[in-house]
Structure 1
């Protein structure tokens, strides 16, 4: 089954998510955008608590919603977040039709960083297959993800064709990296996610008591984990 990534904003939510069965604990501030960043001090505090209470949890953290042209600031944030002891640093790759070279240059710079970085392609306008190939060619990223910026426009699985997402998962996994899907995913997306079979699927709004900025509900985390685990892998056509 796809492993469950849950985004949290503080230590209380992190412990609740891990206790309810989340495989990946993703540290972010949902009120500040798709990849809103927490302060490094808060990241370090959450990591220290999780390492004691849930030593097996994998922890990621974001660096914020920054365009590729701000590469120096992105790299500074990557270094600060990595120093907090997380397992993965997530960095958004935002579409830049007027300057695609800047996004590719950012990928090249991230590949040279000594920490484990997960590039996150923002795919509201579709998956940039050339950018996926460019990132995979480096052979150093442990995972690639896709996510959306406009959270109110529906689930990723409604906004992009399932064959496109299946192709993304297949090529990433074929090159030895983990493939992750996120973007306003819902509990009802579980059958399609099992069919797509990414290595992990990311959730926030589906596990809160309301909007994605509301308080996390561990009961919903546990229910979502059960739904992702239910049954066997369904045919992709049936999931559509």
Structure 2
């Protein structure tokens, strides 16, 4: 299992944009994303795209190779059965992640998680960068607590930790975890060489407060979409606007709140 890459090791906060198909790739790139993420928002927080879409993006990458990292959501751990064959993934994929909802009552969730990781890597003959996923609304999602997920991420030498929200009905990351809780998780993760990504219905108005705790990556879907509806199509201008605000807040944070 690979642990880090330069994309997760930059001095500025990077922007991850989640797209659902081949058609959304170009507006995401033109808008200024640093990491291109694939997921199907209609299938949940980390819904996996279907086999047809996987094939379509594989064809895209064969003719238009990217110079930025690509990540893929694999759904929830509980979506996978022990007998389910691992999919063949596009060679362009670098980062993989899966959610841990409905695992709170699974005493052996860690070994099941690791077994699935090994199965996917064996099938694809690739050592991926794995991103552990903690849900800020973990109690409602019947998931492992963020602290326990971070502990597992450190133990498994994951590349990073994503803190997201499982439910997407009107509340965002900051409605579930206090800033000091997020800051403590970030500090602990970074002290162990992990990178932290924050997501969960984040909007431009959240960037000022989030920049103060120095995450490595901010991930968006709804903020990139028309009308901020995560199941609608993404818009290049919405991503550009978010990118501009993110860069401005990063500069302000590094300069102590002022420039010059």
| TM-score bin (small chain) | 0.7 to 0.9
Match of 1:59 among 70, 78, 90: 70
For residue 135 of structure 2, what is the aligned residue in structure 1?
122
The structure that is helix-richer by fraction is: 1
- Which residue in the other structure is 2:216 paired with? 199
| 1:122-181 deviation digits (Å, cap 9, x = unpaired) | 231364313311221122x21221111111141202221011111111122211122111
The answer for unaligned runs of 5 or more in structure 1 is: none
**SS class of match (1:220):** helix
8 Å contact kept, 1:13–1:216:
yes
Tell me the distance in 1 between the aligned counterparts of 2:200 and 2:94: 21
Cross-structure match for 1:97? 104
Instruction: Verify: 1:72 aligned to 2:53, yes or no.
Output: no
* 1:16 alignment partner, one of 17, 27, 33: 27
TM-score with structure 2 setting the length: 0.79
Q: 1:136 to 1:110 in 2, by over 3 A?
A: farther
Moved more, 5-14 or 130-139: 130-139
- What is the CA deviation profile of residues 95-114 of structure 1, one whole-angstrom value per residue up to 9, with x for unaligned ones? 53322x23222343356443
**Cα distance, 1:4 vs structure 2:** 0.5
Distance 2:182 2:88 in 1: 29
Contact (CA 8 Å) 1:92, 1:120: kept in 2 or not? yes
Pair 1:166 & 2:183 matched: yes
SS at match of 2:110: helix
Does residue 106 in structure 1 map to residue 112 in structure 2? yes
Judge conservation of contact 1:205–1:212 (CA < 8 Å) in 2.
Answer: yes
Runs of 5+ unmatched residues, structure 2? 1-11, 122-126, 140-144
Task: Report how far residue 16 of structure 1 moved.
Answer: 0.8
Determine the structure 2 residue equivalent to 1:214: 232
| Shift in CA distance, 153/39, structure 1 to aligned 2, threshold 3 Å | same
What do you get for the CA RMSD once the two structures are aligned?
Answer: 2.5
Stretch of structure 1 that moved more, 46-55 or 201-210: 46-55
Q: Which residue matches 1:232?
A: 252
1:38: which partner in 2?
A: 49
| Conserved 8 A contact 1:43-1:84 | no
Corresponding pairs, count: 230
Distance 1:198 1:148 in 2: 16
Give the TM-score taking structure 1 as reference length: 0.85
